[in-house]
Structure 1
Amino acid sequence: MKIHLTSVFVDDQAKALRFYTEILGFVKKYDVPVGETDRWLTVVSPAEPGGTELLLEPSGHPAVKPYRDALVRDGIPLAQFAVEDVRAEYERLSALGVRFIQEPLEMGLVTTAVFDDTCGNLIQIATQPKV
C-alpha cells in the first residue's frame, strides 16, 4: 500500500494553482472540469512526476471552513512538505512574498517552518536527517 493522492482544501483553485506551481514549484498533473465551476486539479513534485499527487480541492463543503479556521487559529498545519534545506527554502519563499507564521525551528534532528498558502491553509516544510 502507498499514498497515491492527498488533498488540501482551497478557496480559489486558480489562485491555488498559481501559488502551488509558480511559488512552491510543483507541476500541474491533472486539470479536469467537474461541474460548472470546480476542477479535479492536482499537482506533483517535479522530482517525482509519477509520485504522490496533491489535489487542490474546492473548499465548498460546509464542514471545511470551521475545520480550517480551527486549524489556522491554533497554528496547526494542514499538510507538510519535505525540503532539502528548510532555511534555504524559507529564504527563497520569503523573498517571493510568502508569509511565514513560524520561522525555521530546530526540534531535535528535524527543522521545520510554517507558512500561509494564501488559500486558507497553513503548510509546514520540514528537513529530516538523512539516514
Structure 2
Amino acid sequence: MSIQTERLEDLGRELGDAIAETAEYEAFEEAKAAVEDDEELQAEIREFQQRREEFMLARQRGEATQERLEEVQTAQNELHSKDKMAAYLEAQETLQERLEDVNRAISDPLAVDFGGEAGGCCQD
C-alpha cells in the first residue's frame, strides 16, 4: 500500500470520527436507541413490515388492490406519527443532509459525485 493510499485511509477514518462527533449523528444515535429500546414500538414496526411484505407479495402475484395499498400507507403514517419514530425519522433526515453536504465538499474539487447514484460512465 502506498503512503498516499494510507494517508487517504487515515483521512477517511478521521472524517468518520469527526462525523460521529457531530450533533446530528449524536441525535440520530439517541433517537435510534429510543426506537430500538421501545418493545411496543418494535412490535408495531414488525407488524408494519409484515403488512408491507404481504402487500409486496400480492403485488408480485398481480393480486394487490388499491385498498390494500391504502391500508399499508395508513399503517406507515400511523407508525411514523409515533413520537419516538417521528424523532428518529427527523434525526435520520438531518444526518442525511449533513452527509450530503460532506459528500459535496469531497466531490466538488474532483468534479465527481461519488455519493450519487451509480450509473453509466460519462453521461450528462
- Which is richer in strand? 1
- The TM-score bracket by the shorter chain reads under 0.3
TM-score of the aligned structures, taking structure 1 as reference length:
0.23
Identify which of structures 1 and 2 has the higher relative contact order when contacts are C-alpha pairs closer than 8 Å and 6+ apart.
2
TM-score of the aligned structures, taking structure 2 as reference length:
0.24
